[in-house]
Every structure is written in C-alpha cells, then in structure tokens.
Structure 1
Amino acid sequence: MPRTLLEALAQKLQACHVHGDAEEPPVATLWTDPRGEWKPLIPLLRQKLPELLCLGDYDPEQQQGPALWLRCLVDGSLPPAEAAAGKLPVIYLPGISRQELRAGEGCPWTLEPLIELMFRGSLWLQRNGRDWTLPAFLGSSDALGLDLSGDQATKAALSRALAEVASVQLEQLRGKRLEAEDFNAYLVPDSIRDLLQWMADPPAFQQRCSQEQWAVLSSTWKKELKFDPTKDGEISAAERLAKGQGGWDKVWQRFAENPTAFPGIPELLRRVEPEQMGLAVGGQDLSRWPSHNAACEDQVLAGLQALTGKSHAMACRCVRDLENQHRERRSWIWAQLGLSPMAKLLEPLGLLAQRADQPLVGTTPEEFIAPYTTDGWEADLSAWQAVAMASTAEEDVVRRAVADLLRPWLDDTASRFQKAVASSGLPAPADQGAISAAPGEVLFFADGLRYDVARQLQKSLEVMGITGSLTTRWAGLPTVTATAKPAITPLISDIQGQALPEDFAPTFRSGKPTSAAELRKALTAQGYTVLGDDDLNIPSGPEARGWLEIGDLDHRGHQLQNDLPRQIQPEIERLAFRIQKLLEAGWRSVKVVTDHGWLFCPDGLPTAELPKHLTSSKWARCAAIKGDSQVPVPTAAWSWNPSEQFATPSGAACFNTGGNYSYAHGGISLQECLTPVLVVSGGVSNAPTAAISEISWKGLRCNLEVSGGSAGMTADLRREAAGGPSVATTAKPIDDGGARLLVEDDELEGAVVVAVLLSPDGRVIAQRRTVVGGDNA
C-alpha cells in the first residue's frame, strides 16, 4: 500500500500500463493537467518515475521538451534517459486538457504530434472520464479516499502546501475532515523540519531559500541547537543527529516520525562511521546508524547461509537465536525505509523455526487435528510467507533456509500421520455427510485452499467486517481434484466408484463422468444457481442457493512451483473481494469449501522410487496400480470404493516422474487431507426484491419497468458494466413502478449499456443489459 500521496500518484500512473491479453500494450501514458496544479510535484515524482517526461521548453536534463521531442522519445527515434530505459513513458501535459487533444483539427498545431498517442497509449483519467484534479485525487475512493472539504479556501491551501503534503504519511491525513488550516499548518515556519530538509540536500535547500530566510534559519539553529550550518556543515549535523544530545534528540524524533520525507539523510549518516566517534564500545546505542544496521543485515545473511549441513534441531535453534538478536531492528527507522529486509524476514523464519521444532503426534487422524489447527499450521504459513518476502538477491539463501527448517518437519509429520491413517483410516465422503448450501447461501468452491491459506482468508475478511466460523473436513483419497472435488458437493449420494480409473475420477450412478461441466449440470438440476466469476450474481430470491467455482492456487502451484508464494496473498485478496461482493449483492452467507490441500517446500520435496511398469498412471503423490502388481510403497483405499487401492509415497516424498516438485498433492498428509470449511456472513442480510422487468426504447429515451419494492431506489444507465460510467443525463428515482432515462450522446445509439437499479445507499441491486435505441441485449 502507498504510504504517501507521492507514492500513490506514482502507483496510479504506472497502473495505466495494464492491458488485456488480446490488446496491444500502450506506448505511453498521457497525463493531462489543465490547470497545471500537479506541477510542483514533478521534480519529486521524477525520483520515483524516471520515465516521467514533461511538455515544456526544451530541457533534456530535466526530461522536458516540446511535443515533437516527446513523440520522438516514445517512438524510439531518440534514446531515453539511462534510468528510464525499458520503461513505458509517462508524459505530463501541464495546461493541457483531454478535450484539447481530442479536438482534432481544432487542436493547437504544437500538440498535434501527441494526438495519435491518445489511441496508441493510455490517458490517466478518472472513471467518469474527467482529468484527475488534485482535490479529486485526494477525495476519490478510487484514489486516496480522504475526507476533503470542498470549499475554495481548502483547495487553495492544498495547492500552496502540495510539495510538503506529498511526503506526509497518509495515515496522518486519515480519520478527520481536512480543511484549509490542516494544509496551512505545513507552511508555518518549522525550524526542525527545515534543518532536516537542509541536511537531506543542502545545495537544493539553500537555492530555494531567500537570503532573509536563510539568515533567520541560521540564527534559529545557532540559538536552539548550538549549530552554525555555514561553519559546521552537514557532516557535523549528522554526528549530532545520531548522538541526540543538546536538543538534537527532538530533531531525531522529528526525522523518525516521517523518514521518507527526508530521503538524503540515511546517505548523510552513512558518511560518518560510528567508530570514528568512539561509539563502537559495548553498551552504546547504535540504532541510529545505517552502517551498523547494514552490518547486522550481513550477519543475518551469513547466519542463514551457515545453516546448510547442520542438523534440523541445530538449524531451528540457530534461526531462533538470530530472531532473538535482530527482532528489535524491525522497530528501527531503517526498517521503515526498507533497509532491513533480513530483519523482517526473520519474523516468519523465526516462527517457522519454532513450529518446525515441535513434532505433531497422534495415534488416530483425529488426534492430529487439534495440534495442527491450534498452531501447527503456522509452520506452513510462515514458510511461504518468508519465500514471498525474499528479494531477488537473497531469494536462493532464503529458499534454502526454509527448506532446511521445513522439509524434515513435513516428512516427519506426514510419516506419523500416515501410520495413524493406516491404523484407523479416514472417513469416506458419505460418512461425513454431504456439503450443501442453506437458503440464501453460496457454496464457494476455492480450488486448492489449504488450511493455513484459509486462516489468512478469514483474517482478511474480518478486516472487512465479514466474520464466521472455520471448521475442517477430511478430503477424499487420493487428494487430487478428480476424486476430492465431487466429495465436497451436495451430489455425493448420486456418485459411485467402481474400478479405480487412471484419472482417479468416480462417475455418477447414471454413468456420466463427474467432470466440472457435469457437476454444474447436476447442481442446476438440484436447484442451485451456477454463478459466474465476474458477474454481479444477485440472488433470485431469499430461497436461492448458489454454486461458484473460483480460485487459481492449485493451477498456479503446479505451474510456478518455487515461485508460488508470491501469488498466494494476491489470491487471498481476490477471494476476499469476491466474497464481499456476493454478500453485498444480497446473499445471506458464503460457505467456502475446497477439494484438497497441498505440500510446499522450496527447492523440492523428497523423492520416492516406484517403477513405471507397476502403474497404469503415476502422479507426483499418488499412482494407480496396474492389475495385481505388488508395489514397494504404501497403499491406501480409494474413497469412492475402499476395495480399490492406490499407491502413495511415504512421508512427504514425491514419486520420481521426471520433475522436481516444490508443490504437490495427491498423497496422505495433514496439509493435503485436512481441508477447511469457512462459513461467513456480514454483508446485506436480505436479498433484494426489486428487479427490472421490462425495457423499451423510443429513440434515445429508455423506459424501465420495475417489479417489487422500490422505495428510495433510483435507475441509471452505465457503460460496459454495472460499475461503469453513467451515460444517462441523470439518474432518475423509481416513480410508479418505472423510470425514464435519456441518453444525450447520439453517438451511443446501438451501443450495449447496462440498466441498473440503485439502493438508497448507491448499491447496485439489479441490472440488465440493453442496446441504446434498440432491442434488449
């Protein structure tokens, strides 16, 4: 998440580069600014966006020039700046509006070289197609979402203080209504802030100051801090800042409040080694020295590199010791500035070392549930989190460290669990009862949602105010989709297994396959509404039951192997957002289920040998046995027909099928077999009763007829999707069971739009596609 206005602005501009698979990538992003109100930020923004170009007088050192020069840079006729090589240009156009570029022949000739870029590039605009103004960016929910007063005094104060506000932590701006005095406060003379700004870049600061201002500041610093900038210089200031004596501690505290606002100070402090000041003796506080922090980072890296060859117990102890030694550094300023990545990595690594040093034991499968769901799952969670956090430079070291800590624990836990399963067995799907949806509930099938990932999903939903209960259920064996997915549907009484097929899939009693398409057909026959991933999915009534298949974890795991961890958190956020939208659409609750879990260990799980001639099919963690062959590995009963056996490797091993598996499933382990069932609610409690019953057109005037309760509702026409921009002259309230809407732009005749009903709080509760001026779509 962006921490400052400046970071948010850079992210939004870079987000314009996104394009669909079937689309040509944009050649540039055009940033129109009719009033030039963003101009004070351009020098600061260029530090984060070296690809930023500016329309203006020719000044190549400042990445500025006329339209023709900009066009040559975009088309490659001129080479870009070294720092901008390979990056998509962002072209800032101060004093230019989007209408001027769209004016065709009416466009000023000086801008004509840029007209074509409107079609080959992206325009950075609001959702309603307007230019991003400064107040809009601060106040819009599509940007910063701050509570900004709309009066002219506030806008003027914001404009005056923009350069200062740009580096303020956004958390300091949230939770209150921002008015003129809030922004004026940033312009009040502040000698400590000015001192830090001078230290960060003395020449630039003095150039901004008038002689009078510099004289006042110098006098103030001499009086309050016994510091003469002309005589003492910035190196002396760095020494005093780090020591924090004689009033300098309040300077440090000010720096600590917002270190990103003074980007040159860490480098200034690096120019003074603590040893030069006699601070390297025991007991001295070295936390203010970036060089000391960097040395500590090297110690952690060396400690992780030294794990190779150690026993598992010793490796766990070494990592716990590193965590105890370096955890304090996560509270230092350098961690906020991204200069302590190894200290941050030790948080999940330390938890992994703690959990992986505690074996899970039990004599029956049920005895493993409590220790794993209490805290054992944190070993799996912290393993992928650590890999996801690692930078490219340290990725190999972190992967090896995670493997050293995790692999023995995975193998030991799986071996113990397999002995319990061999002794007591696992309940078959029918023994656990069918999974079904209650009226008003969606069965939300999230492919490969392992228990630890479900815990993170539950946590993300709670932040949204969506709460519920998390329980567990045993997956079908083998833990592959073909066997396990039918087992978590309401259809299990209609499914059977005979001879174990090569793909491990049971069939319907009718003889039809249990493919995804056939499962959906059978669910529809039972009264379920099969929902689409991207649709609004409003329930048809209070008794409606839904089925939605979503999630990409399993596919990504097989595809990415070592690189899966970085995709897990974005997938969790996608699932949480989809659940939120279902509840907002009117479903009472969502029951999240999955087919199986998986094992993950970076750089590969152990390997088991199973001769190919003994199997009719062999996957990473299970194999179908050929005929009456005797296999040299354990076997287990197929959940759909216990008389049929399949082969499974011991422990956490994978069969040697020619690949090195970091991600795999299909076998018998807690991670694969113990699946989550998460039932959540917290959205709108009652399904909407209003619906668009009929649409008719007379020219560009649309007549809507609405059925059901419509008190306080309004109707609108949206472009492309229910959440798209309005194309009606204005939204209209529902009056006497209908509404009349006018499309003013005659160029839209024949275009597909979406008629929507809006609740009093602006929520879309019904939608229907239609063609402007014609038949319904």
Structure 2
Amino acid sequence: MRVIEHFIKKIRQAAVYNPDVQVAPACILWPDIDRQWEAVIPNLQNELPELFVLGDYNPEKRSGPAIWLRCVVADKVDDVDLPCDRTPIFYLPGFSRQDLRAVESCPDQLKPLVSLQYLGVIWSQVNAKDWTILAFLKSDQGGMGLDVALDNDTKNAMQMALCPLLDEEVELLKGKRIDKDYFNALLTGGDPVRDLLQWLDHGDTFRAEHDENEWKAFVELCKSQFAFDPEKDGVIVGATKLACHEGSWSPVWDRYREAPKRYPNIPAQIRKCKPPNGTIQWHLGGGKFDGWPQWNETQESKLRTDLSTLESMPSHEARKKLTELESQHKSRRSMVWMELGEAPLARAMEHLSVLASTTNTALAAGSVDDLMAGYTNAGWRADDAVMKALACVEKEEDFEAIKKAIQSIYITWAEESARYLQKIVEKSGYPGGSASSCKTLQYKDRECVLFVDGLRFDTAKRLVEMLASQEYKVEEKTVWSALPSITATGKPAVTPVRDKIKGEDSNTDFEPVVAETGQSLKGGYHLKKLLIDGGWEILERSSNGNVNGRAWCEFGNIDHDGHDRGWKLSKHLESTLSEIQDRVIRLLKAGWKSVHIVTDHGWLLLPGGLPKIDLPSALVESKWGRCASIKPGATTNERLYPWYWNSNQYFALADGISCFRNGMEYAHGGLSLQECLTLELNVSSGVSKVSAVSVELTDIVWKGLRCTIAVDGEFSGLSLDIRTQPGDSFSSVVLKVNPLKDNGTASVVVESEELEGVSATIVLLNSNGELVAQTDTVIGGGKE
C-alpha cells in the first residue's frame, strides 16, 4: 500500500458512524492553517473524487467559495458529480479547527460552513489538533506510526518532498529512521540511474524541470557514481558512454534495456555520437556494438539483402540459407532494438526459420490419412510462420525481402502438397464426403454454436492456445470442409440444420436452397429462418441469449479481411482472434455450458500473388479465384469435382495452388490442405487437467526490474511469468513471458518501475498455459 492510499483510507474513516445511534455525517471538514497539504491537493483529488477545496470558484478543479460548498452538500450544483457512496471532503486551506469553533469571530468567507461541524465531522488528531504532515507520519493513532526525526531540516525537507512521498510504499517506510537525508534523496528521485537516463532522454528539459538544489544533487551523484559531469561533458558524451556501457555505465545500460520505450529520445542521441571503431569494424566481428543503433541498422540492411537473394536459389538451398541467417541474427531479438521495433527482419527470422524447417518435410506421399496427419501434426506451422513473418514488417523494402524469402520455399511446398491431395481425391474421392453422406450435427441444450468465417487451421490453433492460456478447456476435431471451399457451400454445411438443405441442378453459384421450399440461402435470411424454426436462437453480435436453450452466433469475419487486405491480413489477425476469444469467454461466463466453434473453409495466402492459370471466360457460367462453374456442354482440361450439395453437378478447381484470376494474394474455393482441412473447437469452462511435472525452482535473482530464475527437473517446454494473482494471466506484470532455456534458466522484465517492492508470484507454465509451479517473491528483490 502506498502512502497516498493509506492517507485516503484514514481520511475516509472519519466518516464512519454507528447507524444505531447516529446519522451519516453530511461532510468531512479538513482544516489546514499552515497550508502544508495544499501542494498535493491535485494529486489527492485524482484519487478522491469527493474532495473539494475552499477557494476561488473553479468547478473543473472542484474549488469554490463556502456557499458553493454548501450547495455541493445539498446536491444542488449541476456541474458537480458527487459519488453517491462517498461523504464529501472539504479542504480548508489557511483555516484551523479553532476558526470553525469560534463562531462569532469566524472569518466571513468561512461562516457558511460553520454549521457543518455539527452536521458533519472534522478530520483531526485525537488531541483535537489539526493534522500536520509530521503528525500524520509519526502518530500511531490515526496516522502512520513512523520513526521521523524532529529537527527543522527534516521538517523542511519533508514539506518539499511531500509529492514523491505519497507514492512510497508504506511497508518500505516502517522500521526505518526517516530524516532529512531520506527526504532529500526522495526529492531528487532516489534513483540516480533513472535520473541519468531521464537527463539523457530529456536534455535541457530535465534541468528546467528541477530546481537548483535538485540539479546540484544530480550532478554530484553523476560525478561520484558514474565518473561523469553532466554540466561539463554534456549529453553527447553521456550517450556515448551509455552506448559503450562499460564499467559503472553497465547497470545504466541494463536499466535502459529493461524499459527502453520510457526513454524515446535516447536512440536519436546515440545516433549523434561517433562509434569508437567505426562501422567498418562491425562487419569483422568482435567488439561491443549492441548499444549502437547504427550497428543494428547495418545488420538489418545486410539481412534485407541476404533475404532478397533467396529468390534466385533452389528451395533446398534457400532453406539452408535461412537457417544460417537465423543463427547469425537471433541474438538481436534479445537486444533493445528489437523492443523498440527497429529489428523487424531479425524478428521475422524467428518465423522464417520455422517455415524453413517445416517445409523441409514434403506433404506429398502416402494415403490421405498420412497427408492429414502430416499437416495436423506439423505442416500447419508453415502457414502460421508465413503469417507471423509478414506481421513483423511495416516498410515496403522489408516486405519485399520477406516476400522473396517466403516465395523461395513456400510456393513449392504448398504446390506439391496441393497437387498430391488433388491426385488422391481424383483417384479415391474427396474425404469430406457430400451432404448425402454426412450425418446431421447434434447439439444439446446450453450449447452455443459460434460460426467464424475463414478460421483456417493455423489460425484455429492460435485461438486454441489463447483460450487454453486463460485455462479454458478446448477440444479439437479435424474436419474436411465442403467442396468447393467457399462460404456459400461451406457455411450451411456446418449448421445444425444442414439436413434441411439441398442443392439444385440449375445452381451455378454454389448456393444451396431450402430443401422443402427451394428458397435460396443467399443473403442468409432463409438460413436463419431454418435455424429459428429448428429451435435455435440467433444471437446478435453482443447478445448472450437464453443460456438454457441452444443458440447460433456469428462472429469474426476473417475471410472478409483476407479479401480486403491481402497479405496485410497478417497484421490484423491477432486482434481479430483476441476479439473472438473475448466473445467466447463472454458467452461462457454468461452461463453457456460450451461454445462450439465451426468454420466454412480455410484459404491460401501468398504475398505477391498466387500463380495464375488460364480458364477462358467463354467456358464458364461463373468463376471465383480458385473454382468455376462450367457451362453445359463446354469442354475443359481442368479437373472436375462434384458439388457437396448435389453430386450430379460438377465444377472445376484450379490445379495446385494456382488461381483463375491474376494478382490475388488471398483466395479459396480450391482443393488444398490450407483451404479444406479445418478445426472444430469445443470450448468449456472446465480447467484442463494439469500434467504432473516434477520441477523445482533453485535460484531467483533480481537485478533492478529483471528477474532471472534457475530450475531443476522436467523443465522442457516451460515458460516463466510473474503475476500478482498466480491463477490469472491478466495479472501478469512482465513485458513478455519467456520460455526456459536448455540450461534451465530464464529471465523476464517487469513492465513498470512503480511495481518495485510489490509482492508477486513467480509462475512456471507449460505449453498449454497451465500453471505447474509457483513461488512468492517481491518485485525488485526486496523483503516482504
């Protein structure tokens, strides 16, 4: 608890009363004859919406004359929103309790408030004296009970340091002798490393924000602790020392690394400096260059060039080269430039290396079951890696480099698997079957079906991970989509009323109809009517419905974003999945027993465009990117496949991963693992059973806000997090959850300096986000 929180608790306690013998006080009067608290009133008003000030009329600052305060008590002021559950507090600067008591001699500006001492209460010490700062800190009766020196220097320093004092943790003050030195250190920030970084970041502004005494104290600290004189040496010399981070500057650099976004101007300051050995030496290896943004920019430029050369290489050589590049650049992902978003290609390399290793295994052998197993076990990671790599880049030149790297290995791999699947289907038939061969889906009461348009297999896997991290139970089922893999055909096929739907011979747009009436499902009206007639409630976007029935809900149109954005879908996918996750959680919290997530199809995405294949328009009734309806009597060399809803009607699908239209980066409707193999998810609130893992935390070391741990036992696949509530992932306080290394160690950085000294819990998580071990700690390494 901070001092300000303790203060708020104490002043609010003045309004506590016994309802059996008393009425609620109308207000709390807070006299302050010496105006000791006046400087921190704005701070307190931020935390106390019921705090008002006797003074000049300024409603926005909750300040006004006595008669206005009387109107506040009477709830007669339109521009004041007084919290209904709080007793108003009136701060009276320049007036004492005795001024209120002496009714006849009471100052005129105070007289309208005199009667409130009887209708309300006066916040004062048990000896009836007004609360001074010293009294509040020292008194154990209504104050804090701290050991505070009584000399005048301490009192003066205390007054000046009141603002930062309010943010101090009460537990850190107890048992400590608090004197002028403590308050002076508090006045200058009490943290020379932080002050030095702020000066490097703000320059002259930092000095302007501090008075002469504070500045002199800062200069002396820099001289003694960092062998550096801010006045004589200046910011550029300081930035050079920071970039080199040698000797006493090493902890300064470590602090900067923990939260570089707090100091946004420091990279620009370092760019003004001349590196010690020049940029030429950077290419020769050795040296300590991680503190120089110029070095990182050189590395990014080199990587950009290396990635661009992959387009001329055979796939197997490109994979080998990507593995080498990952080895060269992976260390930059732990550097400050990654955190600042200045190493997008190094970040993308993590995913490109996964793409390289995954596509090294071709999915072009065995039975359809072998093909499905190969994709569901590992192959989907290639698609996921493509999306994640694309999401890393912003600049056009970086996108071009990533695009060439992806094309160099992904096209061949995806093409081979698609052609092999098409070969199997031509010989043995489509494993997804048809409407006549598929059973009607059965659901029970309190089950909600959530339809997500275009939830491809890899995106569904991401959603599984997100939900599991929140300790929701997720059951997965692999499903082949209806052919062709477009919404018109696939969406009705995953509804619980698909037995009420059929396809007509004359249909050329793959849109089935209501079996009984022949009414088209296009537009969605008649599909919803079928659901309603079948006893299903249709939930709007934010409705939770009747949880005792059955409901159909649609949310998260990934397919629409893909058609609109092309490769830039990758940059929006994470936020879309987060919205879907939130929708599922809201439904479960509303009382639904489970949420069954279904989808209509997947998709292919290739930056730069899928390969083009010609299909003359004269031969087709209608044509999409990957499928087409052939005119009766027309002859074509394209493979023909039966429509899911009517096996008597055939359509053409583009070979491999090609497209009937030019320049399409995103398409579906064809026959490939990416388009046709999907996941159905059944999500419930039941917590997955935690696997028994034998692991022991053997060492915990805090350096500033960085926590490093070591473990023994079965730690493979575990990750480190720090939370204020161990079972709640939303209570995480770290910038990023990090996996344990092969040697059983890991480190994380707490996101805010304000959390230093706060009790928390170190937790170890398995790959499903389940908690397998925990231990208590204090952020920063202090005692509890």
Q: What TM-score comes out, normalization by structure 2 length?
A: 0.62
Aligned AA (1:225):
F
Q: Is the 8 A contact 2:318 2:408 kept in 1?
A: yes
Q: 1:476 aligns with which of 468, 471, 482?
A: 482
1:590 paired with 2:595, answer: yes
Q: Distance in 2 between matches of 1:276 and 1:197?
A: 27
Match of 2:252 in 1: 251
1:559-598 counterparts in 2 under 5 A? Answer: 559-598=564-603
Match of 1:531 in 2: 539
Match of 2:348 in 1: 345
Match of 2:468 in 1: 462
1:447 paired with 2:447, answer: no
1:626-645 counterparts in 2 under 5 A? Answer: 626-645=631-650
Q: Distance in 1 between matches of 2:203 and 2:498?
A: 74
Change (3 A) 1:99 1:190: closer
Classify the secondary structure of the residue corresponding to 2:596: strand
Q: Distance in 2 between matches of 1:648 and 1:323?
A: 38
Match of 2:194 in 1: 193
For the aligned residues, what is the CA RMSD? 3.9
Q: 2:655 aligns with which of 638, 650, 654?
A: 650
Change (3 A) 1:500 1:299: farther
Q: Cα distance, 1:307 vs. partner?
A: 2.6
Classify the secondary structure of the residue corresponding to 1:637: strand
Q: Is the 8 A contact 2:329 2:346 kept in 1?
A: yes
Q: 1:327 aligns with which of 315, 326, 330?
A: 330
Change (3 A) 1:451 1:305: same
Classify the secondary structure of the residue corresponding to 1:294: helix
Match of 2:60 in 1: 97
Deviations, residues 93-118 of structure 1 (Å, cap 9, x unaligned): x9662999xxxxxxxxxxxxxxxxxx
Most deviating of 608-617 and 467-476:
608-617
Deviations, residues 543-576 of structure 1 (Å, cap 9, x unaligned): x111112221122222333432223222211211
Q: Cα distance, 1:492 vs. partner?
A: 3.1
Q: Distance in 1 between matches of 2:161 and 2:325?
A: 46
1:673 paired with 2:636, answer: no
Change (3 A) 1:538 1:468: same
Change (3 A) 1:345 1:554: same
Q: Cα distance, 1:586 vs. partner?
A: 0.9
1:506 paired with 2:506, answer: no
Q: Is the 8 A contact 1:445 1:549 kept in 2?
A: yes
Deviations, residues 288-324 of structure 1 (Å, cap 9, x unaligned): 2221111111112222222333323333333332222
1:205 paired with 2:206, answer: yes
Q: Is the 8 A contact 1:610 1:632 kept in 2?
A: no
Percent of aligned positions with the same letter in both sequences? 33
Q: Distance in 1 between matches of 2:354 and 2:409?
A: 11
Q: Distance in 2 between matches of 1:127 and 1:369?
A: 61
Q: Is the 8 A contact 1:580 1:683 kept in 2?
A: no
Q: Cα distance, 1:39 vs. partner?
A: 13
Q: Cα distance, 1:159 vs. partner?
A: 9.1
Q: Cα distance, 1:595 vs. partner?
A: 1.1
1:369-380 counterparts in 2 under 5 A? Answer: 369-380=372-383
Q: Is the 8 A contact 1:499 1:644 kept in 2?
A: yes
1:698-777 counterparts in 2 under 5 A? Answer: none
Q: Is the 8 A contact 1:436 1:489 kept in 2?
A: no
Change (3 A) 1:614 1:226: closer
Q: Is the 8 A contact 1:286 1:292 kept in 2?
A: yes
Aligned AA (1:189):
G
Bigger radius of gyration among the two: 2
Q: 1:438 aligns with which of 435, 444, 449?
A: 444
Match of 1:362 in 2: 365
Aligned AA (1:674):
L
1:418 paired with 2:422, answer: yes
Q: Is the 8 A contact 2:308 2:400 kept in 1?
A: no
Specify every segment of 5 or more residues in structure 2 that has no aligned partner in the other structure, as ranges: 1-39, 47-56, 64-78, 87-141, 145-158, 175-181, 688-784
Q: Distance in 2 between matches of 1:319 and 1:272?
A: 32
Q: Cα distance, 1:180 vs. partner?
A: 9.2
Deviations, residues 404-447 of structure 1 (Å, cap 9, x unaligned): 33222222221111112112222334534222322211111111
Match of 1:289 in 2: 292
Q: Is the 8 A contact 2:311 2:407 kept in 1?
A: no
Q: Cα distance, 1:641 vs. partner?
A: 2.9
Change (3 A) 1:293 1:35: same
Q: Is the 8 A contact 2:245 2:291 kept in 1?
A: no
Deviations, residues 483-520 of structure 1 (Å, cap 9, x unaligned): 22222122233333342620113333314235122222
Aligned AA (2:606):
C
Change (3 A) 1:505 1:680: same
1:15-26 counterparts in 2 under 5 A? Answer: none
Match of 2:412 in 1: 408
Q: Distance in 1 between matches of 2:496 and 2:211?
A: 77
Most deviating of 466-475 and 275-284:
275-284
1:275 paired with 2:289, answer: no
Q: 1:602 aligns with which of 607, 629, 634?
A: 607
Q: Is the 8 A contact 2:472 2:684 kept in 1?
A: yes
1:496 paired with 2:502, answer: yes
Q: Cα distance, 1:672 vs. partner?
A: 1.1
Aligned length: 540
Q: What TM-score comes out, normalization by structure 1 length?
A: 0.63
Classify the secondary structure of the residue corresponding to 1:645: strand
Q: Distance in 2 between matches of 1:277 and 1:370?
A: 50
Q: Distance in 1 between matches of 2:160 and 2:59?
A: 23
Deviations, residues 367-393 of structure 1 (Å, cap 9, x unaligned): 211111112111111212222331134
1:553-564 counterparts in 2 under 5 A? Answer: 553-564=558-569
Aligned AA (1:497):
G
Q: Cα distance, 1:455 vs. partner?
A: 0.9
Q: Distance in 2 between matches of 1:98 and 1:559?
A: 48
Deviations, residues 23-65 of structure 1 (Å, cap 9, x unaligned): xxxxxxxxxxx9765999xxxxxxxxxxxxxxxxxxxxxxxxx
Q: Distance in 1 between matches of 2:82 and 2:438?
A: 51
Q: Cα distance, 1:668 vs. partner?
A: 0.6
Classify the secondary structure of the residue corresponding to 1:468: strand
Q: Is the 8 A contact 1:429 1:475 kept in 2?
A: no
Change (3 A) 1:95 1:255: farther
Classify the secondary structure of the residue corresponding to 1:676: strand
Change (3 A) 1:415 1:95: farther
Q: Distance in 1 between matches of 2:300 and 2:334?
A: 14
Q: Is the 8 A contact 2:612 2:658 kept in 1?
A: yes
Change (3 A) 1:290 1:477: same
1:221 paired with 2:222, answer: yes
Q: Distance in 1 between matches of 2:577 and 2:495?
A: 22
Most deviating of 313-322 and 276-285:
276-285
Specify every segment of 5 or more residues in structure 1 that has no aligned partner in the other structure, as ranges: 1-33, 41-93, 101-122, 131-150, 166-172, 685-777
Q: Cα distance, 1:277 vs. partner?
A: 11
Change (3 A) 1:601 1:253: same
Q: Cα distance, 1:677 vs. partner?
A: 0.4
Q: Cα distance, 1:211 vs. partner?
A: 4.0
Q: Distance in 2 between matches of 1:349 and 1:374?
A: 19
Q: Distance in 2 between matches of 1:335 and 1:126?
A: 47
Q: Distance in 2 between matches of 1:161 and 1:298?
A: 45
Q: Cα distance, 1:451 vs. partner?
A: 0.8
Change (3 A) 1:152 1:538: farther
Q: Is the 8 A contact 1:434 1:488 kept in 2?
A: no
Q: Distance in 2 between matches of 1:307 and 1:127?
A: 65
Match of 1:25 in 2: none
Match of 1:383 in 2: 386
